[in-house]
Copies of this chain bind each other. A is one copy, B any other.
């Protein structure tokens, strides 16, 4: 399919579709006749272009652009930076004082709406914000909006490989690479940048953290010119380009004998590479690093620690303002399943906690939201909040590796909200995860969000049309973690699907129910895994039970779960602070949904809900499969009310999900029935 043809598919424009407003009042609110801007700076111009496009779409009539001081009369927009546009600065009044670098002001005075910011990035965010308000019909007549991002870094990680594949990609091939080359359609990259910027994303790492042979060469002249071209497209949308590096580059690229981070020659080599990179890309973001993890090279090879490794790179990037994003996903991936003392859940904390304070100021540790690996339910990583003197970045997974692979609907924003609102107790009750990662609890200058993207070459970007809501929601939360999952769902649906309120209600209802539905028919009570190895799709209760990945449930004929207590288990519960540790340690107080993550209990153990563990498994699995079937019917109720192509695509996925949920239900239930011998109290069919 040509890019032209792809653009015309429903879904390609995603939440920037700017569907014409049907409601008279809403259309009137969007009835701007002119846009005035006096700056040529490319990001300001990108903001103007987006306004032209967006308002044109929403009101169904073109809007005029004026670069003159005196614009067309009637309702209009003035837009610009405080430095570059005096009029804008004056119109914004005292709001100017309250703004951070990326914040913006939207103020309406009479016929004029002004969008102003300290930086062109802020201007762009303001433009997208106004368009969102208009599309939602929420633009107040006399608005006085001041917004600034909660998090400084709002990053996307592409797990794309130069061969065109995407590790854990479920929406086609890479839009960045093909046939072992950097190969892209500029328009598609620009449209991706528009989508990202519209949600607030300001950083992207363009290649998989597992850095293979050719990608290792990205920091050489063979690739830098082409990467610089990519950076230029992204720059217009205020997105900084990063790439993942191979820790063994000094050997593999430089021909050195070692990659020892304390070796002088190695350090010089990295400094030279940094100089090369910044010569090509003056605003290069920095390196994303997966080291000593799942067979990747790292400082352990040389008897050094992760601070040694990260600081070496930080030193090379510091003169240019570059950052090192160092992943904490470090654990023994060759564990013996017979060994019940080693606990993968402990690994990140055990590895990194002793290094608190040892990292350079331009290093951020990227910490997965949970201690394992993006399961549908995990406790929050105890490392979040534990390190007082270290910059922390939380890592989410937008791509649905363990959550249905974009064939099942699983709206993840509620999960992320739960994580972000978790009280770490680092400094008492005012220390939720969102205040840790935004840097405010410990007064860190750097912090934020990172997440693995869920997009690919599919015309609608995400395979499942409704999976777009996860990408959208990620960026929105990164900007403002106080937004509710429901608010975000409504924003996405209204912009992406169209303004019909009944449709929006139904779609939101489906999105909001989806995480709970998915959790119901998959691994129960926080124990995780139970998927087919490698590809991670579909039920397999023992799939990871006798493997080397540290992922066990220890189900026997009497009970199930992992004893992670301090008293008699792996001690993981003790990595939490104060009362949190006490709650998880206690069989009585541990929340039901995490029970099997922390405790090994008999099948007859009664949950707080009053029912037994095994009956809970049966009930949730029957219920989950039924509700998955309900999604099919709910979607069917939208026949004729949504775009036909959208309907067809989602319908196929909902049908697959419903059938697959039954498979999950029957395999999980049968497994536990055969193992426990305990019949379903309600006599439903188990095989």
Contact = CB atoms under 8 A, between A and B. Distances in A.
Contacts of A546: 539-540, 666-667, 670-671
Contacts of A304: none
Given A540-B542, A542-B540, A670-B546, A556 B687 contact: no
A98 interface: no
A677 B687 CA distance: 21
A541 B539 contact: no
A677 B677 CA distance: 12
A338 B666 contact: yes
Nearest to A532: B533
A671 B554 CA distance: 10
A684 to B, nearest CB: 13
A675 B675 contact: yes
A558 B677 CA distance: 8
Interface string A520-557: 00000000000000000001111000100000000111
Contacts of A557: 557, 674-677
A557 B671 CA distance: 10
Interface in A471-494: none
A378 B93 CA distance: 86
A97 B558 CA distance: 74
A604 to B, nearest CB: 14
Nearest to A666: B338
Contacts of A673: 556
Interface string A123-166: 00000000000000000000000000000000000000000000
Interface string A656-687: 00000000001100110111110000000001
Chain A's interface size range is 20 to 34
A541 B545 CA distance: 11
Contacts of A675: 556-557, 674-675
Contacts of A540: 542, 546
A96 to B, nearest CB: 63
A539 to B, nearest CB: 7
Contacts of A666: 338, 546
Interface in A555-580: 555-558
Contacts of A541: 542
A677 B556 contact: yes
A338 B687 contact: yes
A192 B312 CA distance: 57
Contacts of A674: 555-557, 675
Nearest to A339: B687
Interface in A316-341: 337-338
Contacts of A676: 557
Contacts of A671: 542, 546
A337 B670 CA distance: 11
A542 B539 contact: no
Interface string A150-187: 00000000000000000000000000000000000000
Contacts of A677: 556-558
A484 to B, nearest CB: 39
A59 to B, nearest CB: 54
A673 to B, nearest CB: 8
Contacts of A542: 540-542, 671
A407 B557 CA distance: 34
A667 B545 CA distance: 9
A666 to B, nearest CB: 6
A557 B555 CA distance: 12
Contacts of A556: 673-675, 677
A112 B687 CA distance: 74
Interface string A186-224: 000000000000000000000000000000000000000
A342 to B, nearest CB: 14
Interface of A: 337-338, 539-542, 546, 555-558, 666-667, 670-671, 673-677, 687
Given A337-B687, A556-B677, A558-B677, 5 more contacts: A338-B687, A546-B667, A556-B675, A557-B675, A557-B676
8 contacts: A540-B542, A540-B546, A541-B542, A542-B542, A546-B670, A556-B677, A557-B557, A674-B675
Closest 5 CB pairs of A and B: A556-B674, A557-B557, A546-B667, A338-B687, A557-B677
